[in-house]
Chains A and B, each alone.
Chain A
Amino acid sequence: MAELRVRVPSTARQGEVIEIKTLLAHPMETGHRRDVYGKLVPRQIIHTFTCIYNGTEVFRADWHPAVAANPYLAFFTVATESGRLRFEWIDDEGTVYATEADITVV
């Protein structure tokens, strides 16, 4: 299975803006590259990343082949309540890579 990494603060004050860092091991094959026989290698990229906070989508990204392999993304969200953040990456083959992190808001 693919390697996923997310960094979410385990605790935060209510209303605090927190930074979230994510990383997924994925080749992000552009579809512009040729193999040794000169044949185009089919595109296989993550096209959508979503962050869901207790069931509500708080951030989304649409990606194109110019996003580097092993896509890294850092973004922010407001710590509203204690609960679970879910992260989803979807690639061209329809594979969904997902992970979750818990946060305690005081």
Chain B
Amino acid sequence: MSLSHPLWLSRRTLLRQFGATGVLVMLGPAGAWATQAMVQQAVRDRIGTREPQAHGVTLRLPKIAETGNSVPLTVTVESPMTPDDHVLRLHVFIEGNPEPVAATYHFGVRAGKAEISTCLRLARSQTVLALAEMSDGSVRSGTASILVTLGACVEEVWGD
């Protein structure tokens, strides 16, 4: 059997994807993904009753990712980062993963610029939400949506 034969490879990939779908069905949505209530709770745990204003937070995320294993994300918060006006914390939420929070970044005046770059593991297509807690007590938000062809957790279950 020739490994380089295109048909053989595509059949293999296809079978693996069917297998992965089967596992998802068995687990069911409740066990595998964070629910909207869990996401809401995670947000409230961090910002309380404050209402986020949807401006000033920019997410750079690819529109489409072949696999969710390592998706680059850059978040920038508009802020002069002075003692009077700076970003305290930045939270990244991922509604489509088993756990609703990806990371929290703690800034201060010494950070100089409120921007981070990281790589995320995304289990499926979803909207990533970033909330920035400002030094004056306000909260700003930004979002970005991504289409994930093959989710991170799914592939790892069947990884060889």
Q: Interface on A for B, CB 8 Å cutoff?
A: 17-18, 28, 30, 32-34, 53, 56, 58-78, 80
Q: Interface on B for A, CB 8 Å cutoff?
A: 69-71, 74, 94, 97-99, 101-113, 115-122, 152-153, 156-157
The 5 closest A-B pairs by CB, nearest first: A17-B112, A66-B102, A76-B113, A74-B117, A78-B112
Q: Which of B74, B94, B110 contacts A56 (CB 8 A)?
A: B110
Given A77-B110, A78-B109, output 5 extra A-B contacts at Cβ < 8 Å. Answer: A65-B98, A65-B99, A65-B121, A67-B120, A73-B117
Contact B112 A67 (CB under 8 A): no
Q: Which residues of A contact B121 (CB under 8 A)?
A: 28, 30, 65-69
**Total A-B Cβ pairs within 8 A:** 101
B57 to chain A, nearest CB (A): 16
A57 to chain B, nearest CB (A): 8
Say yes or no: A72-B118 contact (C-beta < 8 A), given A56-B110, A59-B106, A61-B105. yes
